[in-house]
């Protein structure tokens, strides 16, 4: 009987030690996020066109672990964002990354990178609505002293910025040295060097970055 009891105890000790040895590696894995894949998505991209345009990217953390975004790029060129990166999103939360840049009617490769070295990308082309149509009005033209300067007053009567790239008089050469942007419902003046003649009629033509043309006909003082 004693021999049988000793044998039973030995068997129990053997299996008990074997069980402890199998469970030990599991007990060492204390970090529950280790090896869990981070997941996120783009849900929306919007923009405003022009030299002072912007692209807004909505990103959402759709996983179960935090995701830290460290870089955003457009056409493989790193961009500054607002809010600035790095930025960490907790699970089931999202944010909008705003990028200020020149935006045109072309396709863009937009990418967002994480601290783990992962990235996602989207090929996106802006589409602009009728509400963004440029509306510019030339409200006044003044002929400067010494008959060598003309000053033009312009009003943006639309709902989107207008970038002026060229100014022509009587179909002549471009007289604008540097382009500028007029915000919606704003007015500005621009002077150009041009030799004018008393009593002559002049057609002032302003061209925008979108290729739109705005004209105004005026007669110089006698």
Q: Which of 103, 124, 145 is the last residue of a domain?
A: 124
Does residue 2 register a pLDDT over 90? Answer: no
pLDDT for the residue numbered 131: 44
Residues 120 and 72 sit within 8 Å (Cβ to Cβ): no
Higher pLDDT, 120 or 33: 120
Residue 22 lies inside a defined structural domain of this protein = no
d(CA 168, CA 216): 11
What confidence tier does 128 reach under pLDDT thresholds 50, 70, 90?
low
Our count of domains for the chain comes to 2
* E-assigned strand segments in 16-118: 40-48, 54-61, 67-74, 77-79, 87-89, 94-100, 108-114
pLDDT in tens, 76-95: 999 999 999 999 999 999 88
Distance CA 76, CA 59 (A): 18
Residue 114 in domain: yes
Percentage of residues in the chain with pLDDT exceeding 90?
A: 55
Residue-averaged pLDDT of the chain: 81
Angstrom distance (rounded) from CA 143 to CA 188: 16
What CATH number does the domain containing 202 carry? Answer: 2.60.40.10
CA 37 to centroid of chain Cα atoms: 27
Nearest alpha-carbon partner for 69 in 115, 122, 118: 115
User: What band does 146 get if pLDDT is binned at 50, 70 and 90?
Assistant: confident
In a domain, 69, yes or no: yes
Tokens 């910025």 correspond to 161
Please report which helix (H) or strand (E) contains residue 191, including its range. Answer: strand 187-193
pLDDT at 31 (0 to 100): 30
**Structural domain contains residue 72:** yes
Distance CA 161, CA 51 (A): 9
The H or E element spanning position 199 is none
For 97, 125, 175, 212, the CA distances from 209, given in Å and listed in that order, are 26, 18, 15, 7
pLDDT digits (tens, 9 = 90+) for 178-215: 999 999 889 999 999 999 999 999 999 999 998 899 99
Which has more pLDDT, 199 or 8?
199
The confidence band for 133, taking pLDDT boundaries of 50, 70 and 90, is confident
Q: Give the phi and the psi of residue 99 in degrees, each rounded to 5.
A: -120, 120
Same domain for 74 and 120, yes or no, is yes
CATH of residue 48: 2.60.40.2950
What Cα–Cα distance (Å) separates residue 163 from each residue in 46, 57, 168? 20, 24, 15
- Is 166's pLDDT higher than 70? yes
Q: In the structure, what pLDDT confidence band is assigned to residue 48 with cuts at 50, 70 and 90? A: confident
pLDDT surpassing 70 at residue 35: no
Mean pLDDT of the 63-71 span: 94
Name the residue among 88, 30, 41 with its Cα closest to residue 63: 41
Domain-ending residue, one of 107, 124, 141: 124
If you count them, how many residues does the chain have?
A: 222
With CA atoms as reference, report the closest residue to 150 among 171, 173, 167.
Answer: 167
Structure token pair of residue 40: 């996120």
Given a cut of 60, is residue 36 above it in pLDDT? yes
- What's the pLDDT score for residue 13? 40
Note down the domain range covering 186: 130-219
Confidence class for position 33, pLDDT limits 50, 70, 90 = very low
Per-residue pLDDT, 25? 29
Considering the entire predicted model, what is its pTM? 0.45
174/208 same-domain check:
yes
Cis peptide before 70 (omega within 30 of 0): no
């Amino acid at each position: 009987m004693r021999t049988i009891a000793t044998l039973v105890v030995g068997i129990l000790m053997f299996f008990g030690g074997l069980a402890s040895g199998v469970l030990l590696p599991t007990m060492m894995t204390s970090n529950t996020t280790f090896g869990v894949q981070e997941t996120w998505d783009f849900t929306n991209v919007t923009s405003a066109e022009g030299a002072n345009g912007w692209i807004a990217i909505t990103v959402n953390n759709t996983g179960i672990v935090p995701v830290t975004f460290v870089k955003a790029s457009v056409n493989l060129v790193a961009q500054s964002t607002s809010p600035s990166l790095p930025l960490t999103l907790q699970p089931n939360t999202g944010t909008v990354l705003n990028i200020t840049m020149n935006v045109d009617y072309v396709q863009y490769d937009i990418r967002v990178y994480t601290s783990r070295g992962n990235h996602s990308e989207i090929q996106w082309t802006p589409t602009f609505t009728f509400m963004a149509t440029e509306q510019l009005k030339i409200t006044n033209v003044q002929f400067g002293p010494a008959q060598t300067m003309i000053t033009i007053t312009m009003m943006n009567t639309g709902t989107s910025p207008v970038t002026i790239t060229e100014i022509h008089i009587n179909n002549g050469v471009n007289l604008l040295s540097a382009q500028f942007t007029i915000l919606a419902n704003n007015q500005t003046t621009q002077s150009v060097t041009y030799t004018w003649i008393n009593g002559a009629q002049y057609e002032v033509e302003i061209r925008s970055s979108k290729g739109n043309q705005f004209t105004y006909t005026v007669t110089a003082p006698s």
